[in-house]
Each structure stands twice: as structure tokens, then as C-alpha cells.
Amino acid sequence: MVTLRNLLAAALVLGIYSLVMAALWVVLDAVDVAFTEAAVGAGVTTVFMLLAIAATGRHEKIAHRRPWLPILASLAVGGLLIYGTLDLPGFGDPEAPAQQHVAPHYLEQGEAETGVPNIVTAVLASYRGFDTLGEVTVIFTAGIGVLLMLGIVRRRRAGAGDDDDDTGERE
């Protein structure tokens, strides 16, 4: 999708990629994330992309800039990151620090304390409910931002009718 010149095709490949990632989340035991990725990542994102491409044109102009600097920068960052992973605990290690801190408490006490057997839901809605409120605030702010940006521009240029303002409040 990086080399595709047709943006419509690139957006659809992004949607397929997102769906494949959702399958990967199921394999990695993150079923709630898989739901969200399939609905929001593959669904809503693709709709937004298609709306935006409809408004901006579907063909990318052929760029005559040299790709070597971006490639070099990406490789340098990737090399540093791979160097950083060498100290990480191995895949699926039950003794890893990430598995030792607060997660066991949630898994052992979560159902008794909240009454929800799905621990992801329990943490999201009960233990970290305020964070979820913050998340909703972010979505609200983004919705207002989108509406303002598209709305103000439309008022200034009355006549240039275009209606893709449903990019707003989504969950």
C-alpha cells in the first residue's frame, strides 16, 4: 500500500491489512481488541478514508524526490529498535515483569470485585473508568475539531457544496 499510486486501492489494502491484524489479535488472545480493530480499524477507518479520497482526488502525483533519505532514516530507527528488543523478555514468558505487577490482581480478584467475568471489560469500565471517560473526551474533541474545520471552510466558501461532515462523533 506504500507503493500504490492509486489512493483508493491503498485505502482498501489498509482495510484488508486491518482485518488481518484483527485475526492476529484473536491468535494472541486479545479478542476484545480484535472486535474493535475489525469494527473501528477495518470499518470506520476505511469509510473515513474513502470519504476523504472522494473529496481530494484518488490519484497520487508521481513524486520526483529521492527516496534515499527516508529509507535511511527508517532503517536507522528500525536498527535501534531491534537493538532495544534484545533485552526484552521472550515471547509468552509467564515470568516477564509485565505479567507480575497489577495484572494478577485483576485476574484473581476482578470477577469478585466487579462482577464482570471479562477482565478487559472490568478494567476498562470499572477500574480505569476515568481513563475511559478521558478517551470519550478525546473522541468528542476530535469530533468538534473535524466539524469546525470542515464547517468554517464551508461558510467562507459558500457554494462549494460538499457533505462529508459525518466524520464526527463515533465511538
Partner 1 sequence: MEALSHVNYWAAIVLAMIGLYAVIAPSNLIKKLIGLGMFQSAIFLVYITVGKVEGGTAPIIDSGHAVYSNPLPHVLILTAIVVAVSTLAVGLALAVAIKRDYGTVEEDEIDEQDRR
Cβ 69 to partner 1 shortest distance, Å? 8
- Cβ atoms of 25 and 33 within 8 Å: the answer is yes
Cβ 19 to partner 1 shortest distance, Å? 11
Residue partners of 35: CB distance under 8 A and separation at least 6 = 22
Collapsing DSSP to helix, strand or coil, 100 comes out as coil
Q: Which of residues 33-72 bind partner 1 (CB under 8 A)?
A: 33, 36-37, 40-41, 44-45, 48-49, 51-53, 55-57, 60-61, 63, 65, 67, 69-71
Q: Which of residues 93-112 bind partner 1 (CB under 8 A)?
A: 93-94, 96, 98-99, 102-103, 106-107, 110-111
- Among 16, 23, 28, 113, contact with partner 1 (rule: CB under 8 A): 28
- Among 16, 23, 29, 113, contact with partner 1 (rule: CB under 8 A): 29
- Measured from the Cβ of residue 41, the count of other Cβ atoms closer than 10 Å reads 20
Residue that has been written with the C-alpha cell 462549494 in this structure: 160
Q: At what angle do helices 45-56 and 7-27 cross, to 10 degrees?
A: 170
